[in-house]
Structure 1
Amino acid sequence: MTAGSKRMTDGEMRRMNILEILNDRTTPVSGTELAGELGVSRQVIVQDIALLRADNKEIMSTYKGYILHSPEMDGRECMRVMRVNHNTEDTLDELQTIVDYGGRVLDVSVEHGLYGHITVDLIINNRLDASEFVAQMEQSHDQPLKALTGGCHYHTVAAQEERNLNLIEEALDKKGYLMRD
């Protein structure tokens, strides 16, 4: 080792491995899975993800796990934020309506009086993703984010064309889910 060289720490190597794993996957990877692959606790993974984000790595957290944001995700789709309100029992129908018309649910957000704007990445691309999300929501026994605001919440929806977004809004409006200003 030369005088100017620096040996990489175990943490730096692990974070580099996390990025490689996420880069090789097109679907989210759970913190538990990363912890198992790298031989550390899930809490160490959570801390590593925070450090990677602080280093400007665009890692999104979804209900299924972590996914690396790629430039291909930007610019090819039209996006619209939709304000909705419905019962928790209607969540699956709402999400499936969006994907059935060619949309992808990127996130859910609420405007909270005390905490301000709260957003959580969802990345729901199809009916299976919607069903898995609702099943996980039911198993968790936690309240969905919309519970903080009496049901009112927002979704960022992406689609290949504006036409799809218009159809999604029309369908959500017909079902009474869409809130107009």
Structure 2
Amino acid sequence: MKAADRRDALLNALTNARGPLKANTLADAFGVSRQIIVGDVAILRASDHDIIATNQGYLLATKATAQDNSRYRGKIVCQHDSDQVVNELAMIVDRGGWVENIEIDHPYYGIIKATLTIQSHADITHFTAEMASHKGAMLSSLTNGIHLHTITAPDKTVFDEIKRDLFAAGILLDESI
């Protein structure tokens, strides 16, 4: 398969995917190395295809931001150490919340945003295992633990309950300061 045809097929796979696709899975499907897929994605991005990388694989940005309009969507500001990440995420999903992303305000680079798509305890386990296996540092470590999450919840009442839980745990940044 020619490179241009492979990139078209890759774009088609991402368009038809129901969720993120891992580079290794795509590499196996197209009979190339993972690094070739990484390069193909970079070339597609440079050609104005909005492909994002998540901790679960690649997906089109339109699919990452697609939301269930029946759910309430809001942002929260948190501050905590890396040892509280699992607790933070669990409190959100236990109430039915979904963590869409994390964003920080870096002093030099400005806003840095990463898609998370965490909706369950299985997603939390996957996220933390991937971070550990890659020896990654949490994005919030660049900003003294301060970060934002866009989360969705079944309704505003549940969103407010999530905020109360996080505040009680000392995770939600105190808005009165």
Same fold (TM over 0.5): yes
- In the alignment, the residues of structure 1 paired with residue 28 and residue 68 of structure 2 have an alpha-carbon distance, to the nearest angstrom, of 35
Structure 2 matches for 1:63-102, cutoff 5 A? 63-68=55-60, 69-70=62-63, 73-74=66-67, 76=69, 77-102=71-96
Judged with a 3 Å threshold, the aligned counterparts in structure 2 of structure 1 residues 72 and 146 are, in CA distance, closer, same or farther, namely closer
- In the alignment, the residues of structure 1 paired with residue 74 and residue 93 of structure 2 have an alpha-carbon distance, to the nearest angstrom, of 14
Unaligned runs of 5+ in 1: 1-8
Judged with a 3 Å threshold, the aligned counterparts in structure 2 of structure 1 residues 58 and 92 are, in CA distance, closer, same or farther, namely same
Is the contact between residue 26 and residue 67 of structure 1 (CA under 8 Å) also seen in structure 2?
no
The partner residue of 2:102 within 94, 108, 111 is 108
Unaligned runs of 5+ in 2: none
Please report the TM-score for the alignment, with normalisation by the length of structure 2.
Answer: 0.86
Please report the TM-score for the alignment, with normalisation by the length of structure 1.
Answer: 0.85
- Does residue 162 (structure 1) correspond to residue 153 (structure 2)? The answer is no
Judged with a 3 Å threshold, the aligned counterparts in structure 2 of structure 1 residues 54 and 79 are, in CA distance, closer, same or farther, namely farther
Tell me the residue number matched to 1:52: 44
Tell me the residue number matched to 2:12: 20
Is the contact between residue 29 and residue 66 of structure 1 (CA under 8 Å) also seen in structure 2?
yes
Q: Cα RMSD over matched residues?
A: 2.1
Judged with a 3 Å threshold, the aligned counterparts in structure 2 of structure 1 residues 139 and 180 are, in CA distance, closer, same or farther, namely same
Tell me the residue number matched to 1:137: 131
Which stretch shows the higher mean deviation, 66-75 or 83-92?
66-75
- In the alignment, the residues of structure 2 paired with residue 19 and residue 95 of structure 1 have an alpha-carbon distance, to the nearest angstrom, of 31
- In the alignment, the residues of structure 2 paired with residue 43 and residue 138 of structure 1 have an alpha-carbon distance, to the nearest angstrom, of 21
Which stretch shows the higher mean deviation, 47-56 or 79-88?
47-56
Percent identical pairs in the alignment equals: 32
